[in-house]
Amino acid sequence: MTPDHLTAADLQTSLGRRIRSRTVRWLFMGAAAVTVLVSALIIWTVASGAWTFISQVELTRLADIGWFPRRGLFDLTTLLVNSAQISVIAMAVAVPSGFGAAFYLSEYAHPRVRRVMKPTLELLASVPSVVLGVFAISFITPSILTNFFSDINFFNKLAAGIAVGLLVIPLIASISEDALRAVPQALREASAGLGARRVTTSIRVVLPAAMSGLMAATIVGFSRAIGETMVVTIASGGGDTSLYNLSLYESGGTLTSAMAALGLGTDQVAGNNLAFQSLFFLGALLFAMTLVLNMVGDVIVRRLQNRY
Protein backbone atom coordinates (compact mmCIF):
# COMPACT_ATOMS: atom_id res chain seq x y z
CA MET A 1 0.00 0.00 0.00
CA THR A 2 1.60 3.18 -1.12
CA PRO A 3 1.13 6.07 1.26
CA ASP A 4 -0.13 8.40 -1.48
CA HIS A 5 -3.08 6.06 -2.05
CA LEU A 6 -4.47 5.90 1.45
CA THR A 7 -8.18 4.92 1.27
CA ALA A 8 -10.97 4.72 3.83
CA ALA A 9 -10.48 0.95 3.93
CA ASP A 10 -6.91 1.37 5.24
CA LEU A 11 -8.13 3.50 8.12
CA GLN A 12 -10.73 0.90 9.03
CA THR A 13 -7.90 -1.54 9.94
CA SER A 14 -9.70 -4.69 11.06
CA LEU A 15 -11.30 -6.96 8.47
CA GLY A 16 -14.04 -8.01 10.92
CA ARG A 17 -15.39 -4.49 11.17
CA ARG A 18 -15.50 -4.18 7.40
CA ILE A 19 -17.30 -7.52 7.04
CA ARG A 20 -19.90 -6.50 9.64
CA SER A 21 -20.45 -3.28 7.75
CA ARG A 22 -21.03 -5.19 4.49
CA THR A 23 -23.47 -7.62 6.11
CA VAL A 24 -25.61 -4.86 7.58
CA ARG A 25 -26.03 -3.45 4.09
CA TRP A 26 -28.00 -6.55 3.10
CA LEU A 27 -30.38 -6.07 6.02
CA PHE A 28 -31.25 -2.56 4.85
CA MET A 29 -31.68 -3.74 1.30
CA GLY A 30 -33.94 -6.53 2.55
CA ALA A 31 -36.16 -3.99 4.31
CA ALA A 32 -36.38 -1.98 1.11
CA ALA A 33 -37.36 -5.17 -0.71
CA VAL A 34 -40.19 -5.68 1.80
CA THR A 35 -41.76 -2.37 0.77
CA VAL A 36 -41.74 -3.55 -2.85
CA LEU A 37 -43.23 -6.84 -1.69
CA VAL A 38 -46.11 -4.94 -0.03
CA SER A 39 -46.96 -3.30 -3.36
CA ALA A 40 -46.67 -6.60 -5.20
CA LEU A 41 -49.00 -8.29 -2.70
CA ILE A 42 -51.56 -5.48 -2.98
CA ILE A 43 -51.57 -5.74 -6.77
CA TRP A 44 -51.71 -9.54 -6.68
CA THR A 45 -54.56 -9.48 -4.11
CA VAL A 46 -56.83 -7.04 -5.93
CA ALA A 47 -55.98 -8.33 -9.40
CA SER A 48 -56.58 -12.01 -8.68
CA GLY A 49 -59.79 -11.29 -6.74
CA ALA A 50 -61.03 -8.98 -9.46
CA TRP A 51 -60.26 -11.57 -12.13
CA THR A 52 -62.22 -14.24 -10.25
CA PHE A 53 -65.16 -11.83 -10.11
CA ILE A 54 -65.01 -10.75 -13.74
CA SER A 55 -64.68 -14.28 -15.06
CA GLN A 56 -67.68 -15.53 -13.08
CA VAL A 57 -70.15 -12.67 -13.16
CA GLU A 58 -72.70 -12.30 -15.94
CA LEU A 59 -71.66 -9.05 -17.52
CA THR A 60 -75.27 -7.84 -17.82
CA ARG A 61 -75.38 -7.78 -14.02
CA LEU A 62 -72.80 -4.98 -14.04
CA ALA A 63 -75.43 -2.59 -15.41
CA ASP A 64 -78.71 -2.83 -13.57
CA ILE A 65 -80.97 -0.81 -11.26
CA GLY A 66 -78.45 -0.50 -8.48
CA TRP A 67 -75.84 -2.10 -6.24
CA PHE A 68 -77.35 -5.14 -4.49
CA PRO A 69 -74.38 -7.53 -4.16
CA ARG A 70 -76.22 -10.19 -2.17
CA ARG A 71 -78.92 -10.37 -4.83
CA GLY A 72 -76.32 -10.57 -7.56
CA LEU A 73 -76.89 -7.07 -8.97
CA PHE A 74 -73.59 -5.25 -9.37
CA ASP A 75 -74.43 -1.96 -11.08
CA LEU A 76 -71.10 -0.17 -11.27
CA THR A 77 -72.61 3.05 -12.61
CA THR A 78 -74.41 3.62 -9.31
CA LEU A 79 -71.21 3.46 -7.29
CA LEU A 80 -69.10 5.39 -9.79
CA VAL A 81 -71.67 8.20 -10.10
CA ASN A 82 -72.00 8.48 -6.31
CA SER A 83 -68.22 8.48 -5.88
CA ALA A 84 -67.89 11.18 -8.52
CA GLN A 85 -70.69 13.33 -7.05
CA ILE A 86 -69.34 13.17 -3.51
CA SER A 87 -65.76 13.83 -4.63
CA VAL A 88 -66.82 16.83 -6.74
CA ILE A 89 -68.74 18.33 -3.78
CA ALA A 90 -65.68 17.69 -1.62
CA MET A 91 -63.47 19.54 -4.10
CA ALA A 92 -65.95 22.42 -4.27
CA VAL A 93 -65.46 22.81 -0.51
CA ALA A 94 -61.76 22.01 -0.26
CA VAL A 95 -60.25 23.75 -3.28
CA PRO A 96 -61.35 27.39 -2.59
CA SER A 97 -60.63 27.05 1.09
CA GLY A 98 -57.34 25.19 0.63
CA PHE A 99 -56.07 27.57 -2.08
CA GLY A 100 -57.17 30.58 -0.05
CA ALA A 101 -55.36 29.38 3.04
CA ALA A 102 -52.27 28.58 0.96
CA PHE A 103 -52.26 32.06 -0.64
CA TYR A 104 -52.75 33.75 2.71
CA LEU A 105 -49.95 31.80 4.38
CA SER A 106 -47.55 32.18 1.47
CA GLU A 107 -48.25 35.76 0.31
CA TYR A 108 -49.78 37.68 3.20
CA ALA A 109 -49.22 36.07 6.58
CA HIS A 110 -46.59 37.31 8.99
CA PRO A 111 -43.88 34.66 9.50
CA ARG A 112 -45.04 34.28 13.08
CA VAL A 113 -48.60 33.51 11.96
CA ARG A 114 -47.20 31.04 9.46
CA ARG A 115 -45.20 29.25 12.12
CA VAL A 116 -48.41 28.65 14.06
CA MET A 117 -50.67 27.85 11.12
CA LYS A 118 -48.50 25.25 9.39
CA PRO A 119 -48.47 22.83 12.37
CA THR A 120 -52.20 23.53 12.85
CA LEU A 121 -52.81 22.28 9.32
CA GLU A 122 -50.77 19.16 10.14
CA LEU A 123 -52.90 18.68 13.22
CA LEU A 124 -56.09 18.99 11.16
CA ALA A 125 -54.81 16.33 8.78
CA SER A 126 -54.80 13.86 11.65
CA VAL A 127 -58.49 14.24 12.60
CA PRO A 128 -59.90 10.70 12.30
CA SER A 129 -62.35 10.34 9.43
CA VAL A 130 -64.96 8.54 11.59
CA VAL A 131 -65.23 11.73 13.64
CA LEU A 132 -66.04 13.72 10.51
CA GLY A 133 -68.63 11.11 9.63
CA VAL A 134 -70.28 11.63 13.00
CA PHE A 135 -69.98 15.40 12.45
CA ALA A 136 -71.83 15.05 9.14
CA ILE A 137 -74.86 13.27 10.61
CA SER A 138 -74.93 15.15 13.92
CA PHE A 139 -74.26 18.69 12.69
CA ILE A 140 -73.90 19.27 8.93
CA THR A 141 -77.21 17.64 7.96
CA PRO A 142 -79.50 18.47 10.92
CA SER A 143 -78.15 21.91 11.86
CA ILE A 144 -77.18 23.36 8.48
CA LEU A 145 -78.54 21.53 5.44
CA THR A 146 -82.12 21.07 6.71
CA ASN A 147 -82.43 24.87 6.90
CA PHE A 148 -81.85 25.14 3.17
CA PHE A 149 -83.29 21.88 1.84
CA SER A 150 -86.34 20.85 3.81
CA ASP A 151 -86.82 17.49 2.11
CA ILE A 152 -83.25 16.29 2.54
CA ASN A 153 -82.70 12.69 3.63
CA PHE A 154 -81.00 12.08 6.99
CA PHE A 155 -78.31 10.18 5.09
CA ASN A 156 -77.32 12.18 2.01
CA LYS A 157 -74.50 12.63 -0.45
CA LEU A 158 -74.33 16.39 0.05
CA ALA A 159 -73.36 16.20 3.73
CA ALA A 160 -70.95 13.34 3.02
CA GLY A 161 -69.31 15.42 0.28
CA ILE A 162 -68.96 18.47 2.52
CA ALA A 163 -67.41 16.39 5.31
CA VAL A 164 -64.99 14.71 2.90
CA GLY A 165 -64.10 18.22 1.69
CA LEU A 166 -63.28 19.34 5.23
CA LEU A 167 -61.06 16.29 5.53
CA VAL A 168 -59.17 17.08 2.31
CA ILE A 169 -58.60 20.81 3.01
CA PRO A 170 -55.32 20.35 4.97
CA LEU A 171 -53.83 18.16 2.23
CA ILE A 172 -54.70 20.64 -0.55
CA ALA A 173 -53.60 23.65 1.51
CA SER A 174 -50.29 22.02 2.32
CA ILE A 175 -49.38 20.97 -1.25
CA SER A 176 -50.58 24.33 -2.65
CA GLU A 177 -48.54 26.27 -0.14
CA ASP A 178 -45.42 24.34 -1.13
CA ALA A 179 -46.19 25.16 -4.78
CA LEU A 180 -46.62 28.88 -4.04
CA ARG A 181 -43.43 29.05 -2.02
CA ALA A 182 -41.56 27.38 -4.86
CA VAL A 183 -42.23 30.49 -6.98
CA PRO A 184 -38.98 32.50 -6.87
CA GLN A 185 -39.00 35.72 -4.86
CA ALA A 186 -37.44 37.49 -7.85
CA LEU A 187 -40.76 37.26 -9.71
CA ARG A 188 -42.60 38.97 -6.84
CA GLU A 189 -39.88 41.61 -6.52
CA ALA A 190 -39.98 42.36 -10.22
CA SER A 191 -43.75 42.66 -10.13
CA ALA A 192 -43.72 44.93 -7.10
CA GLY A 193 -40.95 46.95 -8.71
CA LEU A 194 -43.29 47.70 -11.62
CA GLY A 195 -45.74 49.12 -9.11
CA ALA A 196 -48.10 46.18 -8.83
CA ARG A 197 -50.20 45.86 -5.74
CA ARG A 198 -49.99 42.74 -3.60
CA VAL A 199 -53.28 41.47 -5.02
CA THR A 200 -52.04 42.01 -8.58
CA THR A 201 -48.79 40.22 -7.86
CA SER A 202 -50.69 37.32 -6.28
CA ILE A 203 -53.18 36.88 -9.09
CA ARG A 204 -51.20 37.91 -12.17
CA VAL A 205 -47.71 36.68 -11.26
CA VAL A 206 -47.68 34.07 -8.49
CA LEU A 207 -50.87 32.26 -9.53
CA PRO A 208 -49.80 31.56 -13.13
CA ALA A 209 -46.32 30.57 -12.02
CA ALA A 210 -47.68 28.09 -9.49
CA MET A 211 -50.57 26.90 -11.64
CA SER A 212 -49.28 23.40 -12.28
CA GLY A 213 -48.56 22.87 -8.57
CA LEU A 214 -52.08 23.97 -7.67
CA MET A 215 -53.41 21.55 -10.28
CA ALA A 216 -51.36 18.76 -8.74
CA ALA A 217 -52.80 19.62 -5.32
CA THR A 218 -56.30 19.36 -6.76
CA ILE A 219 -55.59 16.02 -8.41
CA VAL A 220 -54.04 14.50 -5.28
CA GLY A 221 -56.91 15.89 -3.19
CA PHE A 222 -59.43 14.36 -5.60
CA SER A 223 -57.71 11.01 -5.33
CA ARG A 224 -57.85 11.27 -1.53
CA ALA A 225 -61.57 12.14 -1.71
CA ILE A 226 -62.36 9.12 -3.90
CA GLY A 227 -60.55 6.84 -1.46
CA GLU A 228 -62.21 8.22 1.67
CA THR A 229 -64.32 5.50 3.25
CA MET A 230 -65.66 6.09 6.75
CA VAL A 231 -67.23 9.52 6.22
CA VAL A 232 -69.27 8.22 3.29
CA THR A 233 -70.16 4.95 5.03
CA ILE A 234 -71.52 6.83 8.07
CA ALA A 235 -73.10 9.84 6.36
CA SER A 236 -74.36 8.50 3.04
CA GLY A 237 -73.56 4.85 2.39
CA GLY A 238 -75.99 3.61 4.98
CA GLY A 239 -76.59 -0.05 4.26
CA ASP A 240 -74.81 -2.32 1.84
CA THR A 241 -77.20 -1.64 -1.03
CA SER A 242 -77.96 1.45 -3.05
CA LEU A 243 -80.43 2.21 -5.76
CA TYR A 244 -79.27 4.32 -8.69
CA ASN A 245 -80.23 7.95 -8.21
CA LEU A 246 -78.69 11.28 -9.08
CA SER A 247 -80.15 13.37 -6.26
CA LEU A 248 -77.62 14.81 -3.82
CA TYR A 249 -80.29 14.90 -1.12
CA GLU A 250 -80.61 11.12 -1.10
CA SER A 251 -78.29 8.50 0.33
CA GLY A 252 -76.02 6.54 -1.94
CA GLY A 253 -73.07 4.20 -1.64
CA THR A 254 -69.67 4.80 -3.22
CA LEU A 255 -66.92 2.41 -4.31
CA THR A 256 -65.40 2.69 -0.84
CA SER A 257 -68.55 2.49 1.27
CA ALA A 258 -69.72 -0.54 -0.69
CA MET A 259 -66.40 -2.17 0.19
CA ALA A 260 -66.76 -1.31 3.86
CA ALA A 261 -70.31 -2.70 3.87
CA LEU A 262 -69.14 -5.93 2.25
CA GLY A 263 -66.25 -6.07 4.70
CA LEU A 264 -68.61 -5.79 7.66
CA GLY A 265 -70.33 -8.92 6.48
CA THR A 266 -67.28 -10.93 5.39
CA ASP A 267 -68.24 -13.72 7.79
CA GLN A 268 -71.56 -14.14 6.00
CA VAL A 269 -70.33 -13.64 2.45
CA ALA A 270 -66.97 -15.42 2.67
CA GLY A 271 -66.21 -18.36 0.47
CA ASN A 272 -66.50 -18.50 -3.27
CA ASN A 273 -69.46 -16.18 -3.24
CA LEU A 274 -69.59 -13.48 -5.89
CA ALA A 275 -70.51 -10.78 -3.37
CA PHE A 276 -67.23 -11.48 -1.56
CA GLN A 277 -65.28 -11.39 -4.82
CA SER A 278 -66.90 -8.10 -5.82
CA LEU A 279 -65.11 -6.59 -2.83
CA PHE A 280 -61.79 -7.23 -4.57
CA PHE A 281 -63.10 -6.05 -7.91
CA LEU A 282 -64.06 -2.69 -6.36
CA GLY A 283 -60.67 -2.59 -4.66
CA ALA A 284 -58.93 -3.10 -7.99
CA LEU A 285 -60.95 -0.26 -9.58
CA LEU A 286 -60.20 2.07 -6.69
CA PHE A 287 -56.52 1.15 -6.68
CA ALA A 288 -56.18 1.76 -10.42
CA MET A 289 -58.02 5.10 -10.30
CA THR A 290 -56.05 6.53 -7.36
CA LEU A 291 -52.77 5.20 -8.77
CA VAL A 292 -53.27 7.03 -12.07
CA LEU A 293 -54.34 10.26 -10.34
CA ASN A 294 -51.42 10.17 -7.91
CA MET A 295 -48.89 9.48 -10.64
CA VAL A 296 -50.16 12.39 -12.72
CA GLY A 297 -50.00 14.64 -9.65
CA ASP A 298 -46.52 13.38 -8.85
CA VAL A 299 -45.20 14.04 -12.36
CA ILE A 300 -46.56 17.60 -12.24
CA VAL A 301 -44.99 18.30 -8.84
CA ARG A 302 -41.65 16.92 -10.03
CA ARG A 303 -41.69 19.03 -13.18
CA LEU A 304 -42.44 22.08 -11.03
CA GLN A 305 -39.52 21.34 -8.73
CA ASN A 306 -37.17 21.26 -11.68
CA ARG A 307 -38.43 24.46 -13.27
CA TYR A 308 -36.90 27.06 -10.98
Q: Indicate whether 126 belongs to the interface with other proteins (CB under 8 A).
A: yes
- Cα angle 265, 254, 159 (rounded to 5 degrees) comes to 110
Q: Indicate whether 15 belongs to the interface with other proteins (CB under 8 A).
A: no
| Binding residue for other proteins, selected from 56, 65, 96, 204, defined by CB under 8 A | 96
Q: How far is the CB of 60 from other proteins (least distance, A)?
A: 26
| Binding residue for other proteins, selected from 11, 148, 150, 271, defined by CB under 8 A | 11
Q: Which stretch binds other proteins (CB under 8 A): 14-22, 69-77, 79-87, 207-215?
A: 14-22
| Binding residue for other proteins, selected from 76, 89, 173, 275, defined by CB under 8 A | 173
Taking the least distance from each CB to other proteins, the nearer of 38 and 64 is 38
Q: For the stretch 183-201, what's the b/e string if a residue is b when 16 or more beta carbons lie within 10 angstroms of its beta carbon?
A: beeeebeebeeeebeeeeb
Q: Which stretch binds other proteins (CB under 8 A): 57-65, 83-91, 242-250, 287-295?
A: 287-295
Report how far apart, in Å, the C-alpha atoms of 228 and of each of 90, 163, 192, 205 are.
Answer: 11, 10, 42, 34
Contact 121, 114 (CB under 8 A): no
Contact 98, 178 (CB under 8 A): no
Binding residues for other proteins, how many (CB under 8 A)?
Answer: 105
Q: Indicate whether 272 belongs to the interface with other proteins (CB under 8 A).
A: no
Return the number of other C-beta atoms located less than 10 Å from residue 255's C-beta. 22
Whole-angstrom distance, CA of residue 69 vs CA of residue 35: 33
Q: For the stretch 121-141, what's the b/e string if a residue is b when 16 or more beta carbons lie within 10 angstroms of its beta carbon?
A: beeeeeeebeebbbbbbeebb
Q: How far is the CB of 83 from other proteins (least distance, A)?
A: 11
Taking the least distance from each CB to other proteins, the nearer of 162 and 248 is 162
Q: How far is the CB of 91 from other proteins (least distance, A)?
A: 14
Q: Indicate whether 36 belongs to the interface with other proteins (CB under 8 A).
A: yes
Q: Indicate whether 73 belongs to the interface with other proteins (CB under 8 A).
A: no
Q: Indicate whether 31 belongs to the interface with other proteins (CB under 8 A).
A: yes
Q: Which stretch binds other proteins (CB under 8 A): 61-69, 70-78, 115-123, 245-253?
A: 115-123
| Binding residue for other proteins, selected from 3, 5, 13, 306, defined by CB under 8 A | 13
Taking the least distance from each CB to other proteins, the nearer of 60 and 272 is 272
Q: Indicate whether 299 belongs to the interface with other proteins (CB under 8 A).
A: no
Return the number of other C-beta atoms located less than 10 Å from residue 273's C-beta. 13
Contact 122, 177 (CB under 8 A): no
Using CB under 8 A as the binding rule, the residues of this chain from 198 to 257 that contact other proteins are: 198-199, 201-203, 220, 223-224, 226-230, 233-234, 256
Q: Indicate whether 132 belongs to the interface with other proteins (CB under 8 A).
A: yes
Q: Indicate whether 101 belongs to the interface with other proteins (CB under 8 A).
A: yes
DSSP per-residue letters across 183-251: S-HHHHHHHHHTT--HHHIIIIIIHHHHHHHHHHHHHHHHHHHHH--HHHIIIII-SS-EE----TTS-
Helices (H) and strands (E) in the chain, counts: 14, 3
- Cα angle 220, 286, 236 (rounded to 5 degrees) comes to 90
Question: Nearest 5°: phi and psi at 13?
Answer: 45, -80
Q: Which stretch binds other proteins (CB under 8 A): 55-63, 67-75, 164-172, 210-218?
A: 164-172
